[in-house]
Every structure is written in C-alpha cells, then in structure tokens.
Copies of this chain bind each other. A is one copy, B any other.
Amino acid sequence: MNFKQIVKPSLLLDPQRCKKNIHSMIEKAATNRFELRPHFKTHQSHIIGSWFRDEGIEKITVSSVGMATFFAVNGWDDITIAFPVNIRQMEEIKGLSQKVKLGLVVVDPDTIDILGKELKDSVSIWIEIDVGTHRTGIRPEDTMLIDDIIERIKSYPLLNLIGLLGHAGHSYQSKSVTQVERTHENAVDKMKEIQKRYKSAFPALKISLGDTPAASMLSSFGPIDEFRPGNFVFYDLQQEEIGSCHLDDIAVAMACPVVAVHPDRLQWIIYGGGIHFAKDFLTLKDGQKCFGRWVKPDGKSWVTSETAGGPYISSLSQEHGVVQCTERTFHLCNPGDLSLWLPVHSCMTADAMGEYYSTDGGKIDHYREHLWS
C-alpha cells in the first residue's frame, strides 16, 4: 500500500505484526496445554483466518450465526457461536448444524426444548456461566437453573453437553497483571466447582474461558481445557493500557487525511469520525478522552517510537476527528497530509470499516453482517 494512494479514511493492517501475534498465542497454548479456539469476531476475515489455519488452527469461535455461516462457507467446520442461542435464527442454525461441528451456548431452559425439538443434526452444547462480568451466563450459585438445563439436555439425543463456557470480560477493567490473574483464577474456581458437581454424570465436562488480557498476560492458566481470546490478533490501545501488549504489537492503524489545523488551540481536524473509528475511548489521566493515538508512517508501515506523549484524538463526530497536539508535535501534519492512528478498540474499528488494506499491498476482506443475508 502506497500512502499516496490513500484519499479517505482507510484501515491499514500490518501482516507481520498480526502474524507474530497469532504465532505467539499459538505457542502459548501449546506450552500451557490448552486448546486455542480463537475468537474470529475481531478480524472477521477469510484471509486472516487462513493465517490461523496455516499455523494449524482448526476450531474457531464466532459471535453470531451470520459470522458462523461466513466462516463455514470458507471451509471452517468446527465452530462455536459464543453468544446465547437466538432461536429466531433457527433455520440458519439448522443449516449450519448439517454442515459443521457446531457449538451452541445456552442460558435458558426453554431454548433447550426448542433446540431439541427443531434440530435434525447433533450439536455441542455449552452452558454459559457468569464468572463475574454480569453480562450473560448463569450465576454459578444458581444450581437449580443449571440442573434444569442439564436435565433437559439429557432428554434430547442430538444435544451433546460438552462443557461450561465463560468470559471473564471484567478483566478489561484490570490495572495490573495481579488483577488479571486474580480474575482468571476466580473464574476457573467457579467453573471447577460446577464441573465437580456434575462429575459423576458428565466426567468429561470441559471448561472454556476466553479473555485476551488473561491469554496475553498470564503464564499459567489452571485446569482449563479451551481458551477463546480474539482481540490479540490485532490488539489495540485498550489492551495496551491493561498491559496485554506493547504499542508496537498493535497490528492495525487507521489512515486519515488531515483537513484543517488550528494553531491557536494546537489541534488538527482529520477526516475520520465515529463512523470509521467507532466510539470507544480511553480516559486519560487529565480526564480527557482519547479515541486514538498517532503513529509515525515508516516505509509501508508505521513506528510507535513517538506515540507516547504524541498527538491523540480527543473527540469524534460523524466524519470529523479532533486531534490534540502539543507545541512540540503540532507541526507534524498539515492539511492534505495523511495521519495514522492506533485504535482504542480494534474489533469495533474493523467492524466499522468493513475492509482492510494490507501494508504489503492489496485488500483484506471483512465480513459484512448487514449485507450477507
């Protein structure tokens, strides 16, 4: 990709950084003897998926039925949809269960009955446990509900209870490796207790967890069977703040034309807004919001040596980004220049952009939910 060819907001992907992230996580899984079932919701790409396949990955996680179909047509045949079953999509789920080894996540007894009655092919059932994030999943102490779900699963021969699935998403609030460790250990303990309770009936019940901070920062994981991190494929400023990665590991950057500069307030205006970056932000020490950090173009890619203390995006509207500089950095861009930005939340930015430009040249695909069906 020649930067001169970029005329509007574009998401750049550095394959070297990305493949290094993939390789490191696969090595970590091998060392720690858990099965890596990477979450493909971050990249949502056939091409990037093939980089995982090249490293031996055969099992994947996705977050919607549409995304599962997108990867199934690309030859992936062992897919877990890590989102509570949406029974309104039963027809598509039935189609998927014919074609691939499908894993479904349940939190609701009635959903089990509907699946049991509707499905014509076998599926793996994960019971989602709330390990402390309080988004989805059954409370570990709600044994009556877990019992009810398990009893119902047992009555449908095509529903194979495979294990307990959790997502310690509250690790994203962590400020240190110790906190991430504690959150992970606590999640594992909760899972182990439930596993023990059903050991006689289901001796092989698996434990699956999945957050990128734990996957990146920890060096021991306890008795888990499977890990489903996703964000590590790109990382982002949020992960860098938590401590999951270094700035230089971040594998995507937004390229945005500068359209105005304001010397009086040391700000640039970029063509690049909320519809491009999405609107996740970090809160800086001085209370300011940060929606992206500047990186310096270098050859076909970028370097992060001047990123700390450099320009950052302080607000985003639909197409505008306002960039805060200092007297030292204000001169770095003029109207007409291209500026490069590390995103705060790469999953959301990639989804907003819907395609990538490889720094090695060429486009890289991204699933588009609203066009697929």
Interface, chain A (partner B; CB < 8 A): 6-8, 41, 63-66, 83-89, 92, 107-108, 110-111, 114, 134-136, 139, 142, 169, 257, 259-261, 264-265, 269, 271, 274-275, 278-280, 315, 317-320, 322, 334-336, 338, 347-348, 351-355, 368-371
What residue in chain B is nearest A84 (Cβ atoms)? B259
Task: Tell whether, in the assembled complex, residue A320 and residue B108 are in contact, meaning their CB atoms are under 8 Å apart.
Answer: no
Known: A369-B275, A370-B354. A259 touches B135 (CB 8 A): no
| Contacting pair A85 B134 (CB below 8 A) | no
Q: Would you call B257 and A88 a contact (CB within 8 A)?
A: yes
Please give me the 6 A-B residue pairs with the lowest Cβ-Cβ distance, nearest first: A7-B88, A84-B259, A279-B279, A275-B351, A87-B336, A354-B370
Copies in the complex: 2
Would you call A111 and B7 a contact (CB within 8 A)? no
Please tell me if the beta carbons of B279 and A83 are within 8 angstroms of each other in the complex. Answer: no
Contact check, A320 vs B136: say whether CB atoms are below 8 A apart. Answer: yes
Chosen A-B contacts, 30 in total, with CB atoms closer than 8 Å, are A7-B89, A8-B64, A8-B66, A41-B318, A83-B319, A84-B259, A84-B335, A86-B257, A87-B336, A88-B336, A89-B257, A107-B259, A107-B260, A108-B260, A110-B334, A110-B335, A135-B317, A135-B320, A136-B260, A136-B269, A139-B264, A142-B264, A169-B317, A274-B348, A275-B348, A275-B351, A278-B279, A318-B347, A352-B352, A354-B370
Docked complex Cα distance between A347 and B279 (Å): 13
A-side interface mostly? mixed
Chain B CB within 10 Å — which of A259, A264, A269, A348 has the most?
A: A259
Which of A83, A111, A265 gathers the greatest number of chain B CB atoms within 10 Å? Answer: A83
Residues in B with CB closer than 8 Å to A108 are: 259-261, 335
Q: Which residues of B contact A353 (CB under 8 A)?
A: 370
Query: Is the pair B335, A111 in contact by a Cβ cutoff of 8 Å?
Result: yes
Closest to A335 in B: B108
Contacting A85 at CB < 8 Å: which of B41, B259, B315, B348? B259
Residues of B within 8 A of A41 (CB): 318-319
A135 touches B269 (CB 8 A): yes
B319 touches A64 (CB 8 A): yes
CB distance from A164 to the nearest CB of B (A): 16
A310 to B247, CA, bound (A): 43
Smallest beta-carbon distance A210→chain B, Å: 13
Bound form: Cα–Cα A8–B371 in Å: 13
**Alpha-carbon gap, A312 to B274, bound state (A):** 22
Instruction: Name which residue of chain B comes closest to A265, CB basis.
Output: B134
Q: Shortest Cβ distance from A319 into chain B, in angstroms?
A: 5
**Contact indicator B63/A319 (Cβ below 8 Å):** yes
Alpha-carbon separation in the docked complex, A370 to B350 (Å): 12
Contacting pair B269 A84 (CB below 8 A): yes
Complex Cα gap A90–B99 (Å)? 49
CB distance from A173 to the nearest CB of B (A): 13
Distance from A141 Cβ to chain B, minimum over Cβ atoms (Å): 10
Q: Are B338 and A88 in contact (CB-based, < 8 A)?
A: yes
Q: Could you say which residues of chain B place their CB within 8 Å of the CB of A264?
A: 139, 142
Q: Is the CB of A86 within 8 A of B7?
A: yes
Q: How far is the CB of A38 from chain B (nearest CB, A)?
A: 15
- Distance of A185 Cα from B320 Cα, bound (Å): 25
